[in-house]
Amino acid sequence: MTTSLSRRDALRVGVLGTAAAGLGLAGCSSGSSASSPLQFWQQYAPATQTEPNLVAQNDWFLDAVARWQQAGGRPIEPVFIPAYTDPTNTRLATAFASNAGPDLFLISPGDFLRYYNGGVLEDLTPYLDDDVVEDYYPEALATRTIDGRIYGLPMEQEPLAIFYDVAALEDAGLSEADLPSTWEDMLELGRRLTTGQRAGLVLDTTPSYYQNFTFYPWMWQGGGEVVDPGTQRSGFASDAVVQALQLYSDSVSTGAAPRTLPAAGDVVGAFRNGFAAMWQTGVWQVEAFAQNAPDHEYGVLTLPTPPGGEAVTSLGGWAFVVNSKGRDPEAAAQFTAATIGSMSQESIDAGVQWNGVGKGNIPARRSVTEAIGDTGAFENPWLQYFRDEVLPGGRGEPRYPPPVLKAVSNAIQAVQLAGADPVEQAETAHRAIESYLVTYEGAELR
Amino acid sequence: MTADTATTTRYRGERRWTPRNVLLVVVGLLVGALTVFPLVWMLSGAFKTVDEVNDPALIPASPTWENFTYVFTQVPFARYLLNSLLVAGAVTLIALWFHSMAAYALARLQFPGREKLFAAIFATLLVSLPVVMIPTFLVIRTLGLLDSYAGLIVPAIFNAFGIFLLRQFYISLPPELEEAALVDGASYWRIYRSIIVPLSRPILAALAVFFFLANWNAFVWPLTITSDPDLRVVQLGIALFQQQYASDWNYVLAASTVAALPTLLVFFFFQRQIVESIKSAGFK
Amino acid sequence: MTLALSRTAGRRAPAAPATKAQALRSQRRAAFWFLLPDTLGLLVFVAIPMLLSVLLGFFAVDGFGNISFAGVDNYVRMGSDPQFWRSVQITLTYLVVLVPLLYVVGLALALLVQQRIPLVGLIRSMLFVPYVISLVVVALVWEFILGERTGVLAQLLAALGIEGVSFLGDPTLALGTVIVVTLWFQMGYYMIIFLAGLQDIPGEYYEAARIDGASAWQRLLLITMPLLRPTSFFVIVTATVSVITGGLDLIFVLTGGGPAGSTSLLIYFVYEQAFLFGDLGYAAAIGSVLTLVLLAWTGLMFAVTRGGRFDHDS
């Protein structure tokens, strides 16, 4: 076996080795043949595990593809990518850089702009009826819309809030009446709840797009902006930004918040073992608690605000996008529209299945919210709370290019973990963003 | 005194509990225990329920085999183990063979440009993975090896590390080794097979451990080039239990424990080879 | 005994001229076939990608097939990029501390576990064990020890009255912690290499030295260390290379380059540029510089040690 293998290689080497060198990175798009099914990369199906929620999510994708095919659409093959949501996963980037990207894939807001500016996102607007566009919550579409055209169709909205552990409050002799509504009270309570093994208040600590995502609301609450949507200039050297950076600085320096995530970032595990009392995280934890600790008593709280600030939070969530350099962008876009972006009963039902049964999170469309009502996953009062109390203050995670994201991340990290001065750091980031924007030529930042 | 008896006295002496040995054993066990500590925690976590998997207690309150049952019944974990075994085994065997041949030539055969060729081969060690990953992907795709066992095995074989290590070993063997054989008219292939390879057993055993483990633990490459669930290797299988937001750490730990067993077996087997094969080199 | 001693002298019997030419020819032929598979494989799967990456360094590449010639822009940018220089500085600290540690600890462990002592097989296996842990769980496993309030170390320190130490969350401690974890992860590996190298030293030497009354320390300095030079050379060279071009996995799971950039090694910086920022040209340029620096450094090492052969001729 070994000899034949090496000989075959040797032959291929001669013919193709030089060809590979000549191809460069702009190599021709080949891969699978033109008639094979379109590939849909995501993190849900086909899955092998049999936990009920995972099965429901898996079935949702398989059903959508089957319906599409029955209606005579071009076959689509869901491809499960392990660790797809892990920011260190290089699979998608490698495939696109080699012009071997999938025809259809799920994208998170932090990546959206780079793919758009790379020219690989198909305009979905022609495939969407006006009433569907109306049906979407404006905030869900805003950051995926460029010059009035829609390039990504969200399947959910994921707002951030504070989760708290009821037992932690009780241990400190407190009740839900003592929950904070201001930053000051939040830090004070964080300090009080920090005991022994327990971290009082957890704000994200790992440098990443995700940490930026969790930082924005604190900045927005006082009216701060990374990039001013109107002028497209840096807004980072503002009082509101400095104030939010000061909050991160104080949270660690006063001992209210830890420097690393308890329980390696597992919120449910941390609450259950008494390692954390409050944690700024997203709606997805409701489902995580339902699955892994259905009896654990926890609660949800809209983000506390600074003096005179308004209650704002950021919204995440995965969206369908179509590779415009794929084999059949038109079919892929039609599939996307038929599945999650049509006023047909089927499409609304699919939304109900996804948001109300399979994944248990906030729909991106009003008709789906209405159809779910308080049934299914939304029997859970905390999911209702997210829908009724948290979502109205929501704003879509903005799309920024990597150098801007990095400048913001550096400022957060420096004040939070290295004790740097918020004013100085805001100024440094401001200059970095400004000088980058001078030559920036991509889509509008918002 | 012959070399053989020297070796014997050195390596097969009685292991007595002299004061010096007691001290060494205590030091060794202490360092060993510190090293193993995290692993013990992994092992204990594999027997914990989801309720207590984050609990730092070393002894599970209510030990359970359920995580292991889950790992094998919920995903085709046996298949993943088999895939890894096939890939890691094939890479190890082929790599040992190719590298020992190349190293033998580089260390002990005279030919023009030898040092230059060695320098070129060595230079391939100096690449940084993040920058060659995309070009390598392109090459693999051009050769039609995406989503195949060959794509998992072939690129993993070629690594200058093994060639370099074996070359360093071969240049320190005495030159008289081959001379008698050459006078007898033996071919270089025969010398390689009957003299060099048997002499390299310790170093080949060490390399076998490295190659097997490196490929058994491979994650990024298999993730990048395979889509077919039937081609999933064990480290991808473990990642399946890490969900988007909340990971089932008890299953991850059980799967990792299962994945660690074959590598431990490989090590137990080969560490004897590494140490005891000095006997075969005793005639030096 | 005589055979063994002659190896340091490196004598070679002169052959008759005719036979010598013939022998050289057949050696050349044999060398060709012996080297063919690996050379071809390395060419296709390593050298060509490496070449492509060097070329990329002269282009602006966005990771979506859009590519334009950029001359030396990427190289110029490196000079004025403070993040880049910060990463260089962190990498140098990491290198200067970690490589000697790996060398000394690896050798010390090898010397320990090659002893004829009871339970040595068990000890040897224990020391190698970290290498078998899946990286996926390394972070979780270390959380158990390093966790800020919950870890074993934090609790030990708390018992001593020291509180609030964050090994991975404090910029002044994080790099040191990463070094310790890397040492823990890799020391077994270098132990094995040294162990294999030690097996290569003929036992007669030690026997002779013992008869001459040499102490254990003298035997180490006068026999082991000189004869271990090819192995030592190998370890220092490969440890340097792997410390600079590797280590990405552990950074990912332990710190993600934080806190406040304190563990943002150069290789992490390169990864970030390539895969998070999609700036493949810049990443390739930095990668090329890294390779060049390593070439210069290892070239020097090879020159000083006569191609890693030391006093052995072939």
Cα angle A268-A273-A276, degrees, rounded to a multiple of 5 = 70
Domain containing A200: what range?
159-315+400-439
pLDDT digits (tens, 9 = 90+) for A172-199: 999 999 999 999 999 999 999 999 899 9
pLDDT digits (tens, 9 = 90+) for A116-164: 999 999 999 999 999 999 999 999 999 999 999 999 999 999 999 999 9
Q: To which residue do tokens 């995501």 refer?
A: A42
A28: in domain: no
C44 in contact with chain B, both atoms CB, cutoff 8 A: yes
C123 and C148 inside one domain: yes
C24 and C151 inside one domain: no
B239 to chain C: closest CA residue: C136
C-alpha A355/C-alpha A360 separation (Å) is 5
B101 to chain C: closest CA residue: C34
Beta partners for A282? A160
C248: in domain: yes
Q: Do B244 and A49 touch (CB under 8 A)?
A: no
C-alpha A388/C-alpha A370 separation (Å) is 12
CA dihedral A141, A144, A145, A146 (to 10 degrees): 170
Supply the pLDDT for residue C18.
55
pLDDT digits (tens, 9 = 90+) for C55-110: 999 999 988 988 899 999 999 999 999 999 999 999 999 999 999 999 999 999 99
Who among A2, A50, A83 is closest to B93 (CB)? A2
A86 and A234 inside one domain: no
Q: Which residues of A26-51 are buried (b: 16+ CB within 10 A; e: fewer)?
A: ebeeebeeeeebbbbbbbbbebbbeb
What CA–CA distances, in Å, run from A179 to A170, A186, C168? 12, 8, 30
Domain containing C28: what range?
16-49
Q: Which CATH architecture describes the domain B80-239? A: Orthogonal Bundle (1.10)
Strands (E), A85-174: 104-107, 145-146, 149-150, 153-154, 158-165
Burial class (CB in 10 A: 0-12, 13-18, 19+), B265: exposed
ipTM comes to 0.87
A24: in domain: no
Q: Which residues of A89-120 are buried (b: 16+ CB within 10 A; e: fewer)?
A: bbbbbbbbbbbbbbbbbbbbbbbbbbbbbbeb
Taking the CB of residue A163, how many other CB atoms lie within 10 A of it?
26
C-alpha B187/C-alpha B79 separation (Å) is 44
Backbone phi, then psi, for B256, in 5-degree steps?
-65, -35
Are A411 and C252 a contacting pair, CB within 8 Å?
A: no
C95 and C214 inside one domain: yes
Last residue of a domain, one of A391, A411, A428: A391
C99: in domain: yes
Q: Do A293 and B142 touch (CB under 8 A)?
A: no
Are C201 and C278 a contacting pair, CB within 8 Å?
A: no
> Does the pLDDT of residue B283 top 70, yes or no?
no
Find chain B residues with C-beta within 8 A of C39's C-beta. 102, 117, 121
Closest-CA distance of chain A to residue B27, Å: 32
Residue C302 token pair: 């090879």
Supply the pLDDT for residue A9.
42
Closest by alpha carbon to C36, among B241, A9, A72?
A9
Q: Which residues contact C127 (CB under 8 A, 6 or more apart)?
A: B31, B32, B35, C109, C113, C187, C188, C191
Closest by alpha carbon to B127, among A296, C309, C221, C245?
C245
pLDDT digits (tens, 9 = 90+) for C203-249: 788 888 888 888 888 888 888 898 888 889 989 999 999 999 988 88
Supply the pLDDT for residue C48.
95
C152 and C34 inside one domain: no
Cis link prior to C259 (omega < 30° from 0)? yes
A434 and A311 inside one domain: yes
Supply the pLDDT for residue B272.
79
Supply the pLDDT for residue C206.
85
Are C234 and B164 a contacting pair, CB within 8 Å?
A: yes
First to last CA, chain A: 57
**CATH number of the domain bearing residue A426:** 3.40.190.10
Number of domains in chain C: 2
Pairs of residues, one from chain B and one from chain C, whose beta carbons lie less than 8 Å apart: 355
Pairs of residues, one from chain A and one from chain B, whose beta carbons lie less than 8 Å apart: 116
C274 and C156 inside one domain: yes
**CATH number of the domain bearing residue C108:** 1.10.3720.10
Closest-CA distance of chain A to residue B165, Å: 22
C-alpha A89/C-alpha A109 separation (Å) is 16
A279 and A342 inside one domain: no
C119 and C139 inside one domain: yes
DSSP string across C220-237: IIIIIHHHTHHHHHHHHH
A25 to chain C: closest CA residue: C65
Q: What does the DSSP 8-state code read for residue A406?
A: H
Residue A46 token pair: 């086909």
> Does the pLDDT of residue B87 top 70, yes or no?
yes
Closest by alpha carbon to B198, among B266, B272, B268, B100?
B100
Residues 385-404, chain A, touching B (beta carbon < 8 A): none
> Does the pLDDT of residue B37 top 90, yes or no?
no
A22 in contact with chain C, both atoms CB, cutoff 8 A: no
Residue C34 token pair: 């012996």
Mean pLDDT taken over chain C: 86
C39 and C125 inside one domain: no
Supply the pLDDT for residue B244.
62
Q: Which residues contact A392 (CB under 8 A, 6 or more apart)?
A: none
First to last CA, chain C: 20
Supply the pLDDT for residue B11.
44
C-alpha C46/C-alpha B155 separation (Å) is 8
pLDDT digits (tens, 9 = 90+) for C113-147: 988 888 888 888 888 888 778 877 887 788 788 98
A33: in domain: no
pLDDT digits (tens, 9 = 90+) for C142-174: 878 898 988 888 888 988 988 889 999 999 999
Q: How confident is the model at residue C14 (pLDDT cuts 50, 70, 90)?
A: very low
Chain-centroid distance, C-alpha B92: 8
CA Rg, chain C, in Å? 24
Supply the pLDDT for residue C96.
96
Supply the pLDDT for residue B276.
61
Who among B9, B111, B268 is closest to C125 (CB)? B268
- Answer yes or no: pTM beyond 0.80: yes
Chain-centroid distance, C-alpha C294: 12
A153 and A175 inside one domain: no
Chains that touch B (3 or more CB pairs under 8 A): A, C
Cα angle A244-A247-A252, degrees, rounded to a multiple of 5 = 140
C-alpha A65/C-alpha A40 separation (Å) is 10
A273 and A150 inside one domain: no
Taking the CB of residue A440, how many other CB atoms lie within 10 A of it?
16
